[in-house]
Chains A and B, each alone.
Chain A
Amino acid sequence: AQSVSQHNHHVILSEAASLELGCNYSYGGTVNLFWYVQYPGQHLQLLLKYFSGDPLVKGIKGFEAEFIKSKFSFNLRKPSVQWSDTAEYFCAVNAREDGNNRKLIWGLGTSLAVNP
């Protein structure tokens, strides 16, 4: 079965530190890739997405992610985090050629706490 793995469950950083959250998936075919963010007490919002083209994608609030096909990875980065980035971050994958391509496969999430 397809799966998405987020390696870091809890991350604590100080403001201005750099961030990298790992995401790996197990599907070998063509994929659409997503990072969602959930601020405390809120619903999930799209941070960025990759469908095709330039493997380095930029999202909102200074976030970016790099798709490395050979490593089945889609890691999220931000050069300098802010206190307001405190949130839970979810990686999700859509296997485009799979019969179940109407669904997203979700990672378990990474909780990020940024200390002021």
Chain B
Amino acid sequence: NAGVTQTPKFRVLKTGQSMTLLCAQDMNHEYMYWYRQDPGMGLRLIHYSVGEGTTAKGEVPDGYNVSRLKKQNFLLGLESAAPSQTSVYFCASSYIAGGNEQFFGPGTRLTVL
């Protein structure tokens, strides 16, 4: 049982490049989340999904897109990376009956030059 996994762990991009971050969970959780973590700003929700085929905006969605084609996967895309998107990205999942206790992946450290 791997829990929540994220790919890749590290990435360096140049401004304007695109990339996709992959989150996978093997706990059959309904809900999945993408956060970014920046020093002094805590965790900020980018997008989330309450089920396969559904997505919703969080508090900082601009510049990001997401897709949840399969229940176990939640993809975060950056179409045209900007230096302001340099951050650590965490994926999390939770289950309906779990009171929204969230389980986190190990994170992806992204640097945009």
Contact = CB atoms under 8 A, between A and B. Distances in A.
Interface of A: 9, 32, 34, 42-46, 49, 51, 90, 92, 94, 96, 101-104, 106-109
A14 B64 CA distance: 42
B101 A109 contact: no
B100 A102 contact: yes
Nearest to A108: B42
B34 interface: no
Given A94-B99, A102-B31, A108-B41, 5 more contacts: A32-B99, A46-B101, A46-B103, A104-B100, A108-B40
A45 B92 CA distance: 11
B102 interface: yes
B42 A109 contact: yes
Contacts of A107: 42
Interface residues of B, number: 21
B50 interface: yes
B106 interface: yes
Interface SS, A side: loop
A16 to B, nearest CB: 29
A103 B48 CA distance: 8
B48 A44 contact: no
A49 B104 contact: no
A105 B40 CA distance: 16
Contacts of A44: 43, 90, 92, 102, 104
Query: Closest 6 CB pairs between A and B?
Result: A108-B42, A94-B100, A32-B99, A43-B104, A44-B104, A106-B43
B99 A51 contact: yes
Given A103-B58, A108-B42, A109-B42, A43 B107 contact: yes
B45 interface: yes
Contacts of B43: 44, 90, 106
22 contacts: A32-B100, A34-B101, A43-B90, A43-B104, A43-B106, A43-B107, A44-B104, A45-B104, A46-B103, A49-B99, A49-B101, A92-B102, A94-B99, A94-B100, A96-B99, A102-B31, A103-B33, A103-B48, A104-B102, A106-B43, A107-B42, A108-B42
